[in-house]
Structure 1
Amino acid sequence: MQTAKLIVRFFIIYLKSKMEYRFSFYMDIGINIFTYFINYLGLWVVLLKFQEIKGWEFYDILWLYNLNLFSYGIACLIFWTPMRSLESMISDGSFDLILTKPMNPFLNMILKQSYHGFLGHIFLGIFIFVICSPHIGINWSITKVIYFLLAIFGATCIHSAILVGTGAVSFWTVKSNSVMNAVIYGVRNFIDYPLSIYSKSIKFMLTFIIPYAFVNYYPAAYLLNKNETSSYLYLGAPAIGIVMFIIAYLFWFTGIRSYKGTGS
């Protein structure tokens, strides 16, 4: 809890410093909102022609896509810049300075770097949730509200784990951003649409190898009463993220123990 409070406090300080240049600050957020708004329009164009995909109508898929974007924005707000910069810091030797500080190096990385542009993902995500809610027919009960909040938390943990895990590859190879790009901009795109449209091999990959399906498909299928797979997968979705993040965190520190510097 203290760590969470510390992250929030440092992020507030970061925002105050960025707000000194307000035009640039709002432009960074606005560009992200515009970019993903175009993606939402793309979904609308696809569904305008096909009406539905495997029983998923436009607002169902919009909700599905939004679960991914919203949780991704939260994760990237904290972990994107630290994990992306790890490659260059190891390459030029500046990561060694992190190790000399009397502080958890992982936390040090998180607190030193952030990128406010991902607030655009979050603001747009909230807006789309509000737009979708009257159209998707979810009967909100206390149980479903709790599940939804836990699902968002779990999805954020999954995105965070993948950022941390792929970033940690730098400790062995120095270069890791290509791996991160392949996963985030390649594999993650599969979950823009319902898992039910894919082959068994892709379903298996997205459930058990790179479990992106737990970010949005299983939570959305449960909340929208799609009944397309085992209830264990629906209910286990929030827990998967926590487990993944713990594994990624331990993997990151395994990388530090293997790290010998670059000699720069």
Structure 2
Amino acid sequence: MIKKYMKLIRRFVIISWQEIYIFKFELFMVLLHLLFNTSFVFLFWYSLLSNIEGLGGWEFSQLAMFSAVTLFGESLGGLFFGFRDLPSKIIMGELDKYLSRPINTLFAVLFESVSIVYFIQQFLVSLILIIIVAINAKMIIKVNNIIMSLIVMFMGVLIYNFIYGIITFMAFWFGRIEVFRGLILGLTESKQYPLDIFPSKMRMILTYVVPIAFVSYYPTVILLDKMSISLMFFLKLLAFCFITFILFITIWHLGIKRYESNGG
């Protein structure tokens, strides 16, 4: 079974690569766009700190690391790109081709739409930036912090995308939900900023309602040794991940039962 799905993933990767490689200029522009956006974020932090005394105790090097870690988290989230177009597939009755295949429908929907090139670009650029920032700022990063940061980030990516999926699955009942989804998940733009610059209520929202803080903020402060993880923190995160996963799977199965070929 595992071998079968690994072959499918490899096939999806090859198809994704072939689709983008045909347009080499587009491939280059995607990378250029990524580098431009990242440079602009770094320039923003530098300009901001040049005009104010401090930002919640964050130095420029730490903010640069924060931005690099955030980009790394975004690259992992790219594996769930298939959720973006799922509402239109439900409405147009395009899930039939997935349901008729002898593979897991949700797996096929997700991985068929993954842009592997963009994922690799984000992953490598963010990883290189993390290394450059750490070396340039002479940061001493503990191996234990790296491991814990990755664990929290991975769980955060799962939690966020489980919630993203749950909202997306509402299309089985309500049809077009892109605007509603965009309204709710518009808060994710706050991932570009450290959590501790927000008011306490906003911190709660960004941690437990739209939990983007687990993708960017917490992995960074753990990596920089600005925060130590308690057992209770880890257990809460684990429970949060488990609950959202159960809801994710349950709502998916309920939605599939409502699906019709001429629309959800």
- Fold shared by both chains (TM-score > 0.5): yes
Q: Which residue matches 2:258?
A: 258
Give the letter for the 2:99 counterpart. L
The Cα offsets for residues 197-248 of structure 1, whole Å up to 9 and x where unpaired, read as 2222112112222222222222222232324x97357545874674344543
Corresponding residue of 1:102: 102
Q: TM-score, normalised by structure 1?
A: 0.82
In structure 2, distance between residues paired with 1:4 and 1:154: 22
Residue of structure 1 in register with 2:172 after alignment: 171
Query: 1:132 and 1:4 mapped to 2: Cα distance?
Result: 37
- Counterpart Cα distance in 2 of 1:112 and 1:144: 34
Q: Are residues 158 and 201 of structure 1, via their aligned partners in 2, closer, same or farther at CA, if it must alter by over 3 Å?
A: same
* Residue-by-residue CA offset, 1:19-50 (whole Å, 9 max, x unaligned): 24323333233323323332332222222222
Change (3 A) 1:96 1:8: closer
Query: Secondary structure of 1:56's match?
Result: coil
1-structure distance, mates of 2:214, 2:42: 21
Task: Determine helix, strand or coil for the equivalent of 1:129.
Answer: helix
Given the alignment of the two structures, is residue 231 of structure 1 paired with residue 240 of structure 2, yes or no? Answer: no
1:48 matches 2:47: no
CA drift of 1:109 comes to 1.0
Over residues 152-206 of structure 1, what are the superposed CA-to-partner deviations in whole Å (9 max), with x where a residue is unaligned? 422332343243223222112111222332344x211223222222222112112
Please list every run of 5 or more consecutive structure 1 residues that lacks an aligned counterpart in the other structure.
none
5+ long unaligned stretches in structure 2: none
CA contact (8 A) 2:222 2:229 kept: no
Q: Residue 63 of structure 2: SS of its match in structure 1?
A: helix
- Identical-residue share of aligned pairs (%): 23
Report the AA paired with residue 231 of structure 1: S
The answer (yes or no) to whether the contact 2:90–2:259 under 8 Å persists in 1 is no
Tell me: CA distance 1:23–1:105, structure 2 relative to 1, closer, same or farther (3 Å).
same
**Cα gap change, 1:256 to 1:31, in 2 (>3 Å):** same
Q: Is the 8 A contact 1:218 1:234 kept in 2?
A: no
Alignment of 1:53-68 (within 5 A): 53-68=55-70
Task: Count matched residues.
Answer: 259
- Kept after mapping to 2: 8 A contact 1:164/1:248: yes
Taking structure 2 as the reference length, the TM-score comes to 0.82
